[in-house]
Chain A
Amino acid sequence: MAEVSWICKRTVVSTKPVEAGKFCPLSVLDRIMEHNHVRVVLYYRCPKERKAGESIRMLRESLAELLSAYPIVTGRLLKTAEGHWMIKCNDAGVRMVEARAKGSVDKWLQNFDREKELNLVHWEPMFHKLYFWSTFYVQLTEFEEGGLAIGLSCGHLLSDPICVTIFIKAWADMTLNGKMVTPPLFHRLPRRRQCNETTNPQPFPELINYYKSTLEKPVPVVQAKQTTIKIAFGDEMVRSCIAMSHAPGSPDEPSPTPFQALAGLFWVGISKIKGLKNGLITMSICLDMRKVLGLDKGFFGNCMVYNQVPGDGIEEYELSKAANAIREVVDTMDAEGIMNLIEWMEGKADQFSCLMNGYDLICVNLEHVDSYSAIFEDNFKPIHASYYIEPTVGEGMILVLPSPLAKGSFSRVVMITLPEDEAINLLEDKLIQQFSPTILMMADKKHTTANSDP
């Protein structure tokens, strides 16, 4: 018995027409993510007197209003003369699916898994005639007994999860107040200022090497069925994890951030589950570079960079070494290095046909993503937020997300995607258990077929 049933699918267009002949180029960081897509689900409670369909209608109208400021979202993919992707702003709109779900949103959140959650966010893989393929999909699901789920999916070519969250926040501002707090900015990534010839042109080759090696790999094939679990760590638990990750005997070194501590914890844990004996599994971290590059908050596009963290020589239970290794890599990713990388990538004339996060264990830092301030109606904050970066075909993916509690707290929510049996084993691991986290979403127990994408 299907819990989520479709009402209809339609296209939402902006309220103001786009002038003809507008094109938006995509940066190298955008184009490298061609084979990925992002899915976000936000859950809300609704006022009791709300009639069926009213929330959806209200949101649809405010989305149409918002899209007038985002011609790139309503455009379609086209290839430039050089063979790179770009967006033609042809005012074609975004697809919207309206659906209905049984029960209430709270009941749903007590008993849901990856498969059920992905039913709340519609996605259509790129089809042959790309000019008619919408890059953004919105799904609005009303719960019969109260509540609303907003699902947004988009090609990673256009935006990363942080950008998607900014878009949702702008939508919330538009619905609540009729105007955006942070209007979007569409511009190129910053360029390196012309400097002396004498300086070393590539001071940080590791980053470029990592990208180089990834680009040369073929697109991997999906192997074992993956599942996602969601774990919440309270403020106290994260603090104790940080304390544990802090290398003893080096009080001058800065304390690991919650991301570094949790990433280190799961790195160690997952390596153990996978049965690695010498050292930890290769992990890549993915960080937001907006602050590093000095970009404005409204920047629209991809700005997350991956880098590898070497795991050799770290034994299991050596949490502090793991966290330290991560911190070292984070520190090397500065503006200079990123701009070098961008320059190098732009120099590569061929297209990027790799899958960026398809090999190693990936750990993405989304802890400062602003999803809980996307308030569509007074006094109704999101009660839950889920993020997915698909497809997950590598060793696994860890997303460190903020928690719904007060800002400034160290509590975090972690979403981990692993092959099914590994996920179940991870939950029972002693190292994880000692922090007594709350399990928000369990692994899919049933062996059913994968989500059917229309």
Chain B
Amino acid sequence: GWRAEGRLQSPAQVHSLSLRLLYLYFHGKDNFWFFSFMQGSKLEVPLWLAKGLHDSKRRIISVELPKIYKEAWRTVFSADANVVDLHKMGPYYYGFGSQLLNFDNPENPEIAQTILQTFISRFRRIMDSSQNAYNEDTSALVARLDELERALFRAGQKGLNDFQCWEKGQASQITASSLVQNYGKRKFTDVDC
């Protein structure tokens, strides 16, 4: 299916404009179905498709912003970005927001500014918590983070764990490759060294 692969961004809303008919072929199993869309109809499409069909003259589609990037939510972010559950609000807030800037929306400068300020407000807490949570359950700390923030958190944790390992004198210990540890469950019957 055409929505299946990889990480799915939250869909952009799309209007089809200035066309009498837009034929879209949807691939389903072994058949191709086609739908025709009248001018002005609204659909949800994946981001990559919206990007591909978009051009500055808006001959095919115009893109509507998902609500989290609109003015109402932007105000919430500027009030206190730390309270927002960015995982629930589509887990790729920063990445997807950056991609949204491709659609020549007049609100782009405000959107960009909000995304940046949000990151700046939240970053400190992420850095501090990732550096102080050693050997504990961190699920509460990461629950409301988007994927970019979670990656940062993991990097912070890795640094912390490596440092602790060094402090304990374990930094010189040779360890098995992660491949071996993962495949340990299956039979690793041949050792052909």
Note whether A and B form a binding pair: no
